Amino acid sequence: MLEKLLSEERIKIGMEARTKEEALKELVELLNLSDESKQIILDALKKREVIGSTGIGRGIAIPHTRSTIVNEVYLIIGVSRDGVDFQSIDNQPVHLFFLLVAPPNDPGTMYLIVLGKIAQIAKRIAKENIDYLSIKDKKELIQLILSLEA
């Protein structure tokens, strides 16, 4: 399922962000949308973070939102070697981001299914101590994620 959502254009290895807001902005920039649309999605993500951090711990965050701006599900992946203070539940910096944006009307509940799959992958990465920080190639990162989905 993730294979349809993963593309090199939506992956950023070597993120430069230092703050939560910078990280969200850097990831949203990878969406092929107008600047106005990107700003609306960024605002929605920031509102979601106010409710509670999507930094799930062990260096991973899954920021997500629904928006009428999009009509399909988008998955953006970012890797930060230095880490970002994302107010994660374990107070550790985030190095791996899975940004999910979906339309409010999602008949196949793809948003929830993808969110669940990402959570499972994140759990495996943490449990198996998988070294994603040494990956320099977007194709290699996609292959790792697809292998963990299986």
Strands 94-102 and 74-84: antiparallel
Find the radius of gyration of the CA atoms of the chain: 14
Give the whole-angstrom CA distance, residue 53 versus residue 57.
Answer: 10
**Catalytic option among 10, 58, 64, 138:** 64
Give the whole-angstrom CA distance, residue 83 versus residue 15.
Answer: 9
Nearest CA among 91, 100, 98 for reference residue 141: 98
List Cβ neighbours of 144 (8 Å cut-off, separation of 6 or more). 130, 132, 135
Q: Is residue 21 within 8 Å of residue 61, measured between CB atoms?
A: no
> 64 an active-site residue?
yes
Residues with catalytic roles: 64
